[in-house]
Chains A and B, each alone.
Chain A
Amino acid sequence: MRSCTPRSLLAASLLGAALVAALPGPAVARTEILWWHALQATLGERVGEIASKFNASQAEYEVKAIFKGSYPETLNAAIAAYRAKQAPHIVQVYEVGTQTMLSSGAILPVFQLMKDHNVAIDWNDLIGPVKTYYSSGGNLYSMAFNSSTPILYYNKDLFKKAGLPDKPPVTWDEVEAMAKKLVAGGAKCGYSSAWPSWVIMETMHAYHDQPFADHANGFDGLATTLKINGPFGVKMLELLQRGAKEGWFTYNGRLNKAEANMGGGECGIFTTSSAYIGNLTKTAEGKFAWGTAPLPHMAGFPRGNSIIGGATLWVMKGAKPEEAKGVAQFFKYLASTENQAWWATVTGYLPLTQAAVKAMEASGVYTKNPHLKTAVAQMNAAKTTPNSQGLRLGNYGSIRDAIEEQMENVFAGKKTAKQGLDDTVAKSGDILKEFAALYK
């Protein structure tokens, strides 16, 4: 074997370089778009999928989806990055952070982005609550992405065991009656709920067209006080306080800890996010049969609509024009009927447009999985009133803590519902006023 002389090495490298140069390669490098998100596991994979699909559909931009941790962690990371002038282009922020983002001066509103780059999206086709939650003055500020709303779940096996027909409760009186029967029939828990504040306080107020905070729930200026200690709020909590005492309502903790009880087959009636369908399908497989239904309504109060939870995509300021254009194109891609239908089907989140709903119906998705339709039907069945547009609260995280703290006191019988709610209003008033003072 001949030894490698310098000349032969040079020849080899020149040949190699020539070969490489001859290979077809990208004529122009793609503009990179950074997307920070907080979805883990399967959902995280779906996020990656939609980014890949977009990347494959065109050659100018490349969206990089990066998982940054939980919602609070992702938000923190975005804030820190922004302050270090290294913000990502798109960041997924949970609904708790909506007011924070709106007041920050760090974002480019979505409607502005679309206008700047002449990208048309039919805003009117968005499902009511989805559109209003993230809009100001009729204009969309952040791109709805993974939205959900609370719905009712029920354990059909426990219903049968209690001698109840396979018919979910429609009113809160029915919830009480059925839950009592369920417990008598041996269920460990008659009714329970996850996300206590979001479902029992926030959504229920909107669902019954009751105001939650002043300044039109924060849509009309920064909210400075909650209004949940009115007759509806008191009646709602008194009902559940009685339920806790009589044993047909079980309080199973904050966040979505209670979902473990539903998934474990303990609860007969349960309320939580529509996004729980995917997990429940997996957890309950082979264990028990279950169904979904719209949320129960309290007699004697008007009808509003349920509100949105989940997260949206915000565009951070400071992107270069080509990058901003890429973001606009990506959002257009996300909003297309085909992609909406795909995303909603594989994740269980709500489709954002009526067109997507129709597409899903047409393709038989709802026939195969009727549960996916419950939330959509619930939202489309009612008109969105000013009280059910959603909530814009500063320091929303602390507000929820305050609300749930008092809810726990009420459920444990330590305070009357009125007292608990009055205390909540007092404490959260301070928190809200603090935030408002910062942005005067």
Chain B
Amino acid sequence: MKRTVFRNRWLPYALVAPQIVITLVFFYWPALDSVRLSLYRASPFGDRLIFVGWGNFARLFADAAYLRSALTSVVFAFLVTLIGLVLALVLAALANARIRGLAVYRSLLLWPYGIAPAIAGILWLFIFHPSYGVLPYVLSFATTYQFNWFLKGWVAMTLLVVAAVWKQFGYNLAFYLAGLQAIEASVLEAASVDGAGPVRRFLAITFPLLSPVTFFLFTLNMTFAFFETFGLVHSVTQGGPGDATSLLVYKAWKDGFENLQLGVSAAQSVVLMAVVIGLTALQFRYAEKKVTY
């Protein structure tokens, strides 16, 4: 369809100018500068620079601490995403019925979206507190194992995963509910007439039909876990105990702003950029293909 356009020479430029200017100054300039800095070793005051080319990257990938951080981030992201999606999907499937008040439930489930990850972390930090948290207290009736997240890396990781999943849960659930409600009942009825049991129906029909939603939520949760959980780590564990919860985002910030190793931090930022590009490319490539009929 031919679109009507306005004929005006300078107006469109004026209209996009604010966005372009801000984008150039605050997105491209720092991003390119990060790339530039990643090729240097810099002094804390920034007054001395030594060109090292790939040196920072080589050192990163040879550094056990960095590789551990990468693994931690990947594990964290997958845990948050998979647990979040499975939980939301199962509950949405069980709750998918023609009931009144779905909108009310939705608003009662979506509000954690408004809580910053850092705040969610603080709330759960207290619940997990080894000395007076309600969770270790309840667990102490079942086992004598010390669930001390100050000391045990996996407990600290669990704390962060729980806080992140909790925050995202309503969001995931809402999307799955919407997706399920959009599936025509007739398709499922036909299947049940054919003799398929509920589980079979779910696996063979519902789940594939939900794949766009699943895919969307998958990339969303992964991106969230990789790039928006800095506040969570900074306010709760500060990467600890040791570096058990040192996510890539946190480590990049710490090396730059606490240890004042600007070049190394910039290199870590560049690696993160590559991850984002990968995730975004994946999203668009896959979303292009028709996922279902």
Question: Taking beta carbons and an 8 Å cutoff, which residues of A are in contact with B?
Answer: 72-73, 75-76, 79, 82-83, 100, 103-106, 251-254, 257, 260, 264, 395, 397-398, 401-402, 404-405, 408, 430, 434-435, 437-439
| Given contact pairs A100-B260, A253-B150, A405-B65, A434 touches B41 in the complex (Cβ within 8 A) | yes
Q: Is B140 an interface residue (CB 8 A)?
A: no
* 21 A-B residue pairings within 8 Å (CB atoms): A72-B258, A73-B257, A75-B260, A76-B257, A100-B45, A104-B45, A253-B240, A253-B241, A257-B241, A260-B150, A264-B131, A395-B260, A395-B261, A397-B259, A397-B260, A398-B259, A398-B261, A405-B242, A408-B242, A437-B50, A438-B49
Please measure, in the bound complex, the distance between the C-alpha atom of A83 and the C-alpha atom of B46, giving whole angstroms. 8
B48 at interface (Cβ–Cβ under 8 A)? yes
Given A79-B46, A104-B45, A404-B242, 17 other A-B residues pairs in contact with their CB atoms under 8 A? A72-B257, A75-B260, A76-B260, A79-B45, A100-B45, A253-B240, A253-B241, A254-B240, A395-B261, A397-B258, A401-B243, A405-B242, A430-B59, A438-B41, A438-B49, A438-B50, A439-B48
> Is B47 part of the contact surface with A, judged by Cβ < 8 Å?
yes
List chain B residues, Cβ under 8 A from A254.
240-242
Cβ contact within 8 Å between B259 and A395: yes
Given the complex, which residues of B lie within 8 Å of A76, measured CB to CB?
257, 260
**Is residue B43 contacting chain A, with contact meaning CB distance below 8 A?**
yes
B255 within 8 A of A: yes
CB distance from A394 to the nearest CB of B (A): 9
Q: Is the CB of A253 within 8 A of B151?
A: yes
A124 to chain B, nearest CB (A): 32
Sorted nearest first, the 7 A-B pairs with minimum C-beta distance are A397-B259, A72-B258, A438-B48, A104-B45, A398-B259, A438-B43, A100-B44
A252 touches B259 (CB 8 A): no
Size class of the B contact interface (CB-based, 8 Å)? 20 to 34
* Residues of chain B with a CB closer than 8 A to A82's CB: 45
Distance, CA A105 to CA B243, complexed state (A)? 33
Determine the main DSSP class of A at the interface with B: helix
In the bound complex, do residue A103 and residue B259 qualify as a contact, i.e. CB atoms below 8 Å apart? no
Which B residues lie within 8 Å of A100 (CB)? 44-45, 260
Tell me the chain B residues, 134-179 only, with Cβ under 8 Å from chain A.
150-151
Chain A positions within 8 Å of B46 at CB level: 79, 83
Among the interface residues A73, A264, A401, A437, which one has the most CB atoms of the partner chain B within 10 A? A401
CB pair B258–A252 under 8 Å, yes or no, is: no
In the complex, what residues of A have CB within 8 A of residue B243's CB? 401, 405
How many angstroms from the CA of A83 to the CA of B42 in the assembled complex? 14
A360 → B minimal CB distance (Å):
35
Asked whether B41 lies within 8 Å of A79 as measured between CB atoms, the reply is no
Q: Which residues of A contact B43 (CB under 8 A)?
A: 103-104, 435, 438-439
What's the minimum C-beta distance from B162 to chain A, rounded to whole angstroms? 21
B8 to chain A, nearest CB (A): 41
Find out whether the CB atom of B151 lies under 8 angstroms from the CB atom of A252.
Answer: yes
Q: Is the CB of B259 within 8 A of A104?
A: no
Query: Which residues of chain A are near B150, meaning CB under 8 Å?
Result: 252-253, 257, 260
Q: Mark B53-85, 1 if CB is under 8 A from A, else 0.
A: 000000100000100000000000000000000
Assess the B47–A104 pair: CB atoms within 8 A: yes
List B contacts of A253 (CB < 8 A). Answer: 150-151, 240-242
- Residues of B within 8 Å of A79, CB to CB, are 44-46, 260
Taking the closest CB of chain A, its distance from the CB of B178, in whole angstroms, is 43
Collect the chain A residues with CB atoms within 8 Å of residue B44's CB. Answer: 75, 79, 100, 104
Against A, the Cβ 8 Å flags (1 = close, 0 = not) of B232-261 are: 000000001111000000000001011111
